[in-house]
Amino acid sequence: MTEVILHEPLDMHLHLRDGDMLRTVAPLSARSFSGALIMPNLVPPITDGEMLRAYRHRILEAAGENCFKPYMTLFFKPEYDFDFLAPLAEEITAIKLYPAGITTNSEGGVSGFDVETLRPALEAMSELGIPLCIHGETGGFVLDREREFVPIYEELAVAFPELSIVMEHITDAVSLEALERHPNLYATITLHHLLITLDDVVGGMLQPHLFCKPIAKRPEDRQALLHAALNAHPKVMFGSDSAPHPRHAKEAPGCAAGVFTAPVALPVLAELFARHGKLEKLQHFVSTNAREIYQIDPPVKKVRLVDTPMQVPEKYGEVVPLFAGREIGWSIADVEC
């Protein structure tokens, strides 16, 4: 039997939603991860300290007795300034910027990326050491949206050299290349973008549960992401972008964007890294790099994964997971806190 022990695994991009959905999905991440960076795009979005504290409380209640730390974020607003952010600096791990209307619940995001308009908020974040996470897509042709956004990442990286900028859920080899040009650029990579290309989504019958934003790209893009993850690129970390939607919202006209991977993320990653002979690199991808990039110290947790198959449930509540109803090759043997 092959096994790997992960210490303090982290998911640095997680959607937990709210209400009944939160209570369904939070325990699934809280069991296997030591902590996660929680996305703020609720309705309404998390934009102040009172909302943030209340949401963190609901997350901890939903997580139950699992040793799990939600790393909280605010939904970026250009009007944030030093006086507003300074009292919250110890309570937030990052601020998430969404281009307006580009993804789920992002209607209140940023329209246009004029550096001077964003300067007060981004200078305050730089001074306070608060990282900026960005969903980096333009409104252009869908296959080009991410690469078209790379010049914006680079403009911001140059204009605010003390600001740590995280390119979220990158899917394009061009984004990886930008990491090498700017010391303050970092990136998250999802599980599903290490596994699928656009062909898996629309190449035959439409697969709504694989539809996400940014959409999966070309085989050469997937290969570039795999190479970075498998070789523990120090500026790349795991962020699942696990995004639960009820089945009726996925299997419908106007299919909601998001892949629900939380229940299988660590076993499938272990299987993937083992298949490529890179199990020794998995700790860096799912913990070490994130701890260094974000300067965080998550709760102690040891997760032992083994190459024993497990059957993935057809659904959790009303949410269909990746590999629903199928057998995967690895499973979580035990968790210690």
pLDDT at 167 over 90: yes
DSSP3 helix / strand / coil % (the chain, rounded to 5): 40, 20, 45
Burial of 82 (0-12, 13-18, 19+ CB in 10 A): middle
What's the CATH number of domain 13-262, 3.20.20.140, 3.40.50.720, 3.30.390.30, 1.10.10.350? 3.20.20.140
Take residue 263 and report the two structure tokens written for it: 């229940």
pLDDT tens digits for 59-85?
Answer: 999 999 999 999 999 999 999 999 999
pLDDT greater at residue 31 or residue 107 = 31
Q: Is 334 a catalytic residue?
A: no
For residues 52 and 305, give the distance between their C-alpha atoms in angstroms, rounded to a whole number.
33
pLDDT greater at residue 89 or residue 103 = 89
pLDDT at 114 over 90: no
Q: What is the pLDDT of residue 198?
A: 97
Domain borders along the chain are 13-262
Contact indicator for 28, 240 with CB cutoff of 8 Å = no
For residues 130 and 53, give the distance between their C-alpha atoms in angstroms, rounded to a whole number.
17
Distances (CA, A) of 242 to 17, 50, 172, 263: 11, 25, 19, 9
For residue 195, the SS3 value is helix
pLDDT tens digits for 260-313?
Answer: 999 999 999 999 999 999 999 999 999 999 999 999 999 999 999 999 999 999
% of the chain with per-residue pLDDT over 70: 100
137's CB contacts (< 8 A; 6+ apart) are 99, 102, 103, 145, 146, 148, 149, 213, 214
pLDDT tens digits for 205-234?
Answer: 999 999 999 999 999 999 999 999 999 999
Average pLDDT over residues 41-50: 96
For residues 123 and 275, give the distance between their C-alpha atoms in angstroms, rounded to a whole number.
44
- Beta strand residue intervals within 78-225, DSSP E: 94-97, 132-134, 165-167, 185-189
Catalytic entry in 11, 172, 221, 241: 241
pLDDT at 112 over 90: no
Q: Angle formed by the axes of helices 19-32 and 49-63, to 10°? A: 60
